[in-house]
Amino acid sequence: MPNLAHTTYLQIVGFAISTLGWILGSISTGLVQWRVWHVANTTLITSGIAWIGIWRTCFFSHILVSPNLKTMYCQQFSVMDSFIPREIFVAQGLMLVAIILGAAGKAVCVFGLKNVFQGTNHEPRIPHWFTTGGILILLSSISIIISVAWNMHSVVNNFSIPFPSTFGMPSNPEKQEVGAAISVGVVSAILLFTSGIFFLCYRLPKDFDNRVHPISDEDSIFSDGESICSGLQGNSRSFLSLKHYLNATIHCDGIKNEAFVWELEDQL
């Protein structure tokens, strides 16, 4: 049976890539820099720049300061707030789903790799584990792609958000730009998608067969070395062919076997 560890180089690389992609996806979920708003009124927003994520909005201010922050003011929002646009609402759910699916896919693939390197009786199921893990990772990638693509579309088209007055944010920016969180999400989606494809590409070797086969008649003749040697010494003609005598003579090296010579002359 071939060494299955030599067939999983691509999957090991895929696991490393998926780990990096999953970490970047988690970072993107928590970052506030999904959208960068440039505003004209710098009375509250001192720097003239505000950052909008999928969980909160923040900006630097000399007037409004959040607890534990020296010069930054942040306000959180959730799915219960009616002013949140659909793309942010969807991104909140899909990014969490992506993190869960990515973690589950990695866990399944780790189980598959464990069976590859530890050598269990479940080798034929290894492709199924890699396929399942790859599908979960691909779904994680698709969830991130939908989230970042929809929010990027809103930024490019300069869509507004009707923030309540307590947020200190204008409803319409002068202009807005794609933030670093979306860029990180795009990289994460690409890495996860590539990793999922790597896992889906796994196939067992063509010559792999872990089934137990019965011993052939020819092999069974040599299962008992004692009986072979005794048969040769007694000029036994119970062997089936000249090939058997050759193999038997090699097996019983050192025995003077006149029966072998006699049978050889008959065969020739």
CATH code: domain of residue 152: 1.20.140.150
Q: Which residues pair with 58 in a beta bridge?
A: 51, 74
Query: Is the dihedral angle over the CA atoms 246, 250, 251, 252 positive or is it negative?
Result: positive
150 and 65 belong to one structural domain: yes
Which structural domain range is residue 251 located in? 217-267
Closest CA to 111 of 136, 98, 130: 130
Domain boundary pick from 200, 226, 252: 200
Q: Which residue has the higher pLDDT, 76 or 79?
A: 76
For the whole model, what pTM was predicted?
0.71
User: CA 154, 44, 32 angle in degrees (round to 5)?
Assistant: 40
Phi, psi of 167 (to 5 degrees): -80, -15
pLDDT at 31: 93
Q: Report the range out of 15-19, 58-62, 68-72, 232-236 with the highest average pLDDT.
A: 15-19
- Taking the C-alpha atoms of residue 38 and residue 48, their distance in angstroms, rounded to an integer, is 6
pLDDT above 70 as % of the chain: 68
Burial (CB count within 10 angstroms: exposed 0-12, middle 13-18, buried 19+), residue 104: middle
pLDDT bin (cut points 50, 70, 90) of residue 74 is confident
163 and 223 belong to one structural domain: no
CB atoms within 10 A of CB 255: 14
151 and 249 belong to one structural domain: no
250 and 127 belong to one structural domain: no
249 and 194 belong to one structural domain: no
Query: Is the dihedral angle over the CA atoms 236, 240, 245, 250 positive or is it negative?
Result: negative
Number of domains observed in the structure of the chain: 2
Query: Do the beta carbons of residue 197 and residue 34 sit within 8 Å?
Result: no
159 and 247 belong to one structural domain: no
Among 5-9, 61-65, 131-135, the range scoring the smallest mean pLDDT is 5-9
In a domain, 209, yes or no: no
Query: Do the beta carbons of residue 175 and residue 149 sit within 8 Å?
Result: no
In a domain, 212, yes or no: no
In a domain, 96, yes or no: yes
- Per-residue pLDDT averaged across 66-79, rounded? 76
In a domain, 110, yes or no: yes
